[in-house]
Homo-oligomer: A and B are copies of this chain.
Amino acid sequence: MTKKAIILVSGGMDSLVTIAIAKQENAELYFLHANYGQKTQTKEQECFDNLVQYYHPKDTLTVDLTYLKQIGGTSLIDINQEIKDHNLNDSKSVPDTYVPFRNGNLIVIATSWAEVIGAQSIYIGAVEEDSSGYPDCRETFYQALNKAIDIGTKDETKIQIKTPIIHKTKAEIINIGKKLNAPFQFSWSCYRNNDYACGSCDSCFLRLKAFKKAGMKDPIPYQNDNH
Q: Which of B61, B101, B154 contacts A67 (CB 8 A)?
A: B61
Most buried by B among A138, A141, A150: A141
CB-contacts of A110-162 with B (<8 A)? 111-113, 115-116, 135-136, 138, 140-141, 144-145, 147-155
Are B66 and A70 neighbours in the complex by a CB distance under 8 Å? no
Are B136 and A140 neighbours in the complex by a CB distance under 8 Å? no
Residues on B with beta carbons closer than 8 Å to the beta carbon of A112: 67-68, 71, 73, 99-102, 104-105
Nearest to A92 among chain B residues (CB) is B155
The distance in angstroms between the C-alpha atoms of A159 and B141, with both chains bound, is 15
Residues on B with beta carbons closer than 8 Å to the beta carbon of A100: 111-113, 115-116, 153
Q: How many copies does the complex hold?
A: 2
Shortest CB–CB separation between residue A59 and chain B, in angstroms?
Answer: 11
Shortest CB–CB separation between residue A96 and chain B, in angstroms?
Answer: 11
The distance in angstroms between the C-alpha atoms of A71 and B188, with both chains bound, is 27
Given A63-B67, A111-B101, also A154-B141 (CB < 8 A): no
The distance in angstroms between the C-alpha atoms of A98 and B98, with both chains bound, is 33
Q: Which of B73, B102, B113, B147 contacts A148 (CB 8 A)?
A: B147
Residues on B with beta carbons closer than 8 Å to the beta carbon of A113: 71, 100
Residues on B with beta carbons closer than 8 Å to the beta carbon of A104: 108, 111-112, 148-149, 152
Shortest CB–CB separation between residue A29 and chain B, in angstroms?
Answer: 17
Residues on B with beta carbons closer than 8 Å to the beta carbon of A153: 100-101, 135-136
Are B61 and A71 neighbours in the complex by a CB distance under 8 Å? yes
Are A144 and B151 neighbours in the complex by a CB distance under 8 Å? yes
Residues on B with beta carbons closer than 8 Å to the beta carbon of A220: none
| Interface membership of A27, Cβ < 8 A | no
Given A147-B144, A154-B135, also A63-B72 (CB < 8 A): no
Residues on B with beta carbons closer than 8 Å to the beta carbon of A67: 61, 63-64, 109, 112
Residues on B with beta carbons closer than 8 Å to the beta carbon of A155: 135
Are B151 and A140 neighbours in the complex by a CB distance under 8 Å? yes
A-B contact pairs, 13 of them (CB 8 A): A64-B64, A64-B66, A64-B67, A94-B154, A100-B116, A101-B149, A135-B151, A135-B154, A140-B151, A141-B151, A144-B151, A145-B145, A145-B148
